[in-house]
């Protein structure tokens, strides 16, 4: 989650603090003006997902806010954004404190015409008492030495040192945030709350989706087949609010009455993960059905039926920009990782909507562990037990922002162990790890449920057989 925008925002705050503390500055009368992003980079991962610049500007209400619209993305401001801002300011009884002027005959700019609107606006709201007609005059420009931050005490990096300097700054930022997060590692039940609020809240924001309401979930059946010892239902699960639809298969036992337990089997290959090559159910799935358990399989986005004749994506899509910066794609768009978690949340909500369901266990195998872990954390108490084969995956080891498992911020907020820890104090079974990860162990210890963590020293098919044993105990 490091970005130029974040650094520039921090610098802007510190600059404002500096000005506010000068002896000749009235800190109750401060204003900000500028063009475009104010000289900063306007893109950062997750910045505009589900929102936009108008809503960000609205956060300033009810303080005075003046704007102009140009012949760029702001050209619809007068008919869309501005009326919405006026309505918001009206709630504060301050409708006249937001202003926008159409200057769409100019391109993207901060020209004199725009500045001529700014001067009387600041004069009015800062109580400067100046003449209403304010005309710009020439002024002497600062010299390079006067305007530069570089000097004897802060020498400018030599050519070729920029990379070293950048790494030093980003390392400092990382050390600072890690120190804060490490201080929140819970040591008792009382300290679990702040940890969940910060780390859990961060994952909530990174994924960008809460559990859907059952009223927004619709099942459209395609086929119902009696397979002898189980009933097989295939169909499409639609989340109407988001216009999303995922293929699902549901298997219910026939030789034994369904006991109300549902296992959501999330696999890297999609719903095919519950079948053998010949189309029969895999032995672990049959064991669950024979015990009276229902099993659901699903094709998440870019799995199974979504692919047709294509192979699963080795790289995620990106916007048409030659610069390799994650923010250009993910400032507006969810990552593939987040979208798959969204699909799992939809499946959880659907399983829970059946009044006969009395418990839901979530299984993530063959590469699906991180998606299921995230869904478990966000679904809260609706998932009774989490079962994952992690394959020792760590987000920090991903080599590209186009990796299908890339999620900005995942490393900062605990990586996969931190994500798994949010399942506490509910039972969790973990394979693919040499030992219980330290973060997972510490959080469960603090919750008083250290015994709720089960570790299997293995992975793959052996782990699948063992996890079914654990589910049926």
Q: For tokens 């654990």, what's the residue?
A: 470
Question: What CATH number corresponds to the domain at position 430?
Answer: 3.40.50.1820
pLDDT mean across residues, the chain = 94
The string of pLDDT tens digits covering residues 371-427 is: 999 999 999 889 999 999 999 999 999 999 999 999 999 999 999 999 999 999 999
Q: What local confidence, expressed as pLDDT, does residue 308 receive?
A: 87
Residues 320, 450: one domain? yes
Residues 293, 381: one domain? yes
Q: What local confidence, expressed as pLDDT, does residue 37 receive?
A: 66
Among candidate residues 114, 137, 160, the one where a domain is terminated: 137
Q: Which of 39-43, 147-151, 276-280 has the lowest mean pLDDT?
A: 39-43
Is the pLDDT score of 7 beyond 70? Answer: yes
Residues 335, 436: one domain? yes
Q: What phi and psi, each to the nearest 5 degrees, are found at residue 171?
A: -65, -40
Distance CA(46)–CA(51), nearest Å, equals 10
Pairing label, strands 98-102, 428-431:
unpaired
Domain of 78? Answer: 48-137
The string of pLDDT tens digits covering residues 331-362 is: 999 999 999 999 999 999 999 999 999 999 99
Q: What local confidence, expressed as pLDDT, does residue 172 receive?
A: 93
Is the pLDDT score of 311 beyond 80? Answer: yes
Q: Which of 106-115, 145-154, 433-442 has the lowest mean pLDDT?
A: 145-154
Classify residue 27: in a domain, yes or no. Answer: no
Classify residue 363: in a domain, yes or no. Answer: yes
Q: Which residue has the higher pLDDT, 2 or 454?
A: 454
Residues 107, 228: one domain? no
Q: Which residue has the higher pLDDT, 223 or 308?
A: 223
Q: What local confidence, expressed as pLDDT, does residue 239 receive?
A: 96
Is the pLDDT score of 152 beyond 70? Answer: yes
Distance CA(154)–CA(219), nearest Å, equals 64
Q: What local confidence, expressed as pLDDT, does residue 198 receive?
A: 96
Number of structural domains found in the chain: 2
Instruction: Mention every residue, 6+ apart, whose C-beta is less than 8 A from residue 420.
Output: 373, 386, 388, 390, 428, 430, 437, 439, 440
Other CB atoms within 10 A of residue 278 CB: 5
Classify residue 66: in a domain, yes or no. Answer: yes
Is the pLDDT score of 68 beyond 80? Answer: yes
Classify residue 36: in a domain, yes or no. Answer: no
Alpha-carbon separation of residue 428 from 27, 333, 358, 368, 389 (angstroms):
53, 31, 18, 15, 11
Band of pLDDT at residue 38, cut at 50, 70 and 90: low
**Helix residue ranges per DSSP H, 59-128:** 81-91, 112-125
Q: What local confidence, expressed as pLDDT, does residue 165 receive?
A: 84
Residues 222, 125: one domain? no
Q: What local confidence, expressed as pLDDT, does residue 156 receive?
A: 85
R_g over Cα of the chain: 28
Q: What local confidence, expressed as pLDDT, does residue 310 receive?
A: 87
Q: What phi and psi, each to the nearest 5 degrees, are found at residue 235?
A: 180, -170
The string of pLDDT tens digits covering residues 219-271 is: 999 999 999 999 999 999 999 999 999 999 999 999 999 999 999 999 999 99
Residues 302, 447: one domain? yes
Band of pLDDT at residue 39, cut at 50, 70 and 90: low
**Helix residue ranges per DSSP H, 92-208:** 112-125, 144-147, 162-183, 192-195, 201-207
Classify residue 153: in a domain, yes or no. Answer: no
- For the chain, the residue count is 473
Alpha-carbon separation of residue 231 from 178, 214, 295, 448 (angstroms):
51, 23, 11, 41
Residues 119, 227: one domain? no
Distance CA(7)–CA(166), nearest Å, equals 11
Distance CA(319)–CA(410), nearest Å, equals 21
Residues 229, 125: one domain? no
Please give the average per-residue pLDDT across 31-45, as a whole number: 80
Residues 221, 113: one domain? no
Distance CA(440)–CA(446), nearest Å, equals 10
Among candidate residues 137, 164, 198, the one where a domain is terminated: 137
Residues 127, 241: one domain? no
β partners of residue 454 = 429
Q: What local confidence, expressed as pLDDT, does residue 1 receive?
A: 86
Please give the average per-residue pLDDT across 418-437, as a whole number: 97
Residues 224, 116: one domain? no
Entry pTM = 0.92
Do residues 184 and 414 lie in contact, with contact meaning Cβ atoms separated by under 8 Å?
A: no
Q: What local confidence, expressed as pLDDT, does residue 291 receive?
A: 97
Do residues 247 and 236 lie in contact, with contact meaning Cβ atoms separated by under 8 Å?
A: yes
Band of pLDDT at residue 155, cut at 50, 70 and 90: confident
Classify residue 419: in a domain, yes or no. Answer: yes
Among candidate residues 73, 104, 137, the one where a domain is terminated: 137
Distance CA(335)–CA(1), nearest Å, equals 14
Is the pLDDT score of 369 beyond 90? Answer: yes
Please give the average per-residue pLDDT across 288-310, as a whole number: 95
Please give the average per-residue pLDDT across 167-177, as a whole number: 92
Q: What local confidence, expressed as pLDDT, does residue 93 receive?
A: 98
Classify residue 398: in a domain, yes or no. Answer: yes
Is the pLDDT score of 324 beyond 80? Answer: yes
Q: 337: closest CA among 207, 200, 199?
A: 207
Distance CA(57)–CA(81), nearest Å, equals 10
Classify residue 185: in a domain, yes or no. Answer: no
Instruction: Mention every residue, 6+ apart, whose C-beta is less than 8 A from residue 301.
Output: 246, 336, 339, 340, 343
Convert 349-358 to b/e letters by CB count within 10 Å (16 or more is b): bbbbeeeebe
Band of pLDDT at residue 40, cut at 50, 70 and 90: low
The string of pLDDT tens digits covering residues 74-110 is: 999 999 999 999 999 999 999 999 999 999 999 999 9
* 78: DSSP letter: T
Residues 330, 445: one domain? yes
């Amino acid at each position: 989650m490091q970005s130029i925008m974040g650094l520039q925002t921090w610098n802007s705050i510190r600059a404002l603090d500096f000005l506010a503390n000068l002896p000749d500055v009235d800190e109750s009368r401060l204003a900000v003006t500028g063009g475009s992003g104010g000289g900063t980079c306007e893109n950062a991962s997750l910045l505009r997902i589900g929102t936009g610049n108008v809503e960000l500007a609205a956060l300033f209400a009810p303080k005075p806010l003046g704007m102009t619209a140009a012949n760029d993305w702001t050209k619809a401001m007068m008919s869309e954004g501005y009326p919405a801002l006026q309505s918001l300011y009206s709630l504060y009884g301050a409708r006249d404190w937001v202003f926008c002027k159409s200057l769409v005959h100019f391109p993207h700019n901060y020209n004199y015409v725009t500045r001529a609107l700014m001067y009387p606006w600041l004069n009015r709201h800062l109580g400067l008492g100046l003449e209403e007609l304010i005309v710009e005059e020439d002024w002497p420009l600062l010299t390079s030495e006067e305007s530069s931050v570089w000097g004897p005490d802060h020498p400018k990096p030599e050519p070729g040192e920029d990379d070293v300097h950048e790494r030093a700054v980003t390392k400092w930022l990382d050390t600072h945030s890690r120190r804060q997060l490490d201080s929140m590692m819970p040591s008792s039940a009382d300290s679990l709350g702040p940890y969940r609020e910060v780390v859990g809240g961060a994952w909530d924001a990174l994924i960008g989706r809460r559990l859907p309401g059952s009223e927004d979930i619709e099942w459209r059946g395609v086929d119902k087949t009696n397979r002898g010892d189980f009933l097989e239902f295939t169909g499409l699960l639609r989340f109407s609010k988001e216009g999303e639809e995922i293929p699902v298969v549901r298997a219910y036992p026939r030789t034994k009455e369904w006991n109300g337990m549902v296992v959501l089997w999330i696999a890297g290959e999609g719903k095919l993960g519950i079948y053998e090559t010949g189309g029969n159910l895999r032995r672990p799935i049959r064991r669950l059905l024979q015990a009276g358990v229902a099993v659901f399989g699903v094709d998440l986005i870019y799995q199974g039926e979504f692919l047709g004749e294509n192979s699963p994506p080795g790289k995620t899509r990106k916007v048409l920009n030659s610069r390799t910066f994650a923010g250009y794609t993910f400032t507006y768009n969810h990552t593939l990782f987040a979208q798959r978690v969204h699909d799992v949340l939809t499946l959880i909500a659907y399983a829970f909507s059946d009044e006969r369901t009395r418990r839901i266990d979530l299984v993530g195998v063959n590469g699906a562990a991180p998606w299921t872990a995230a869904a478990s954390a966000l679904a809260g108490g609706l998932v009774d037990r989490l079962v994952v084969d992690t394959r020792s995956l760590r987000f920090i080891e991903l080599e590209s922002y186009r990796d299908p498992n890339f999620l900005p911020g995942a490393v900062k907020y605990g990586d996969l162990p931190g994500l798994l820890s949010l399942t506490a104090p509910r039972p969790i079974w973990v394979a693919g790890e040499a030992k219980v990860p330290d973060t997972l162990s510490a959080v469960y210890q603090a919750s008083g449920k250290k015994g709720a963590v089960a570790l299997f020293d293995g992975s793959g098919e052996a782990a699948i057989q063992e996890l079914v044993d654990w589910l049926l105990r």
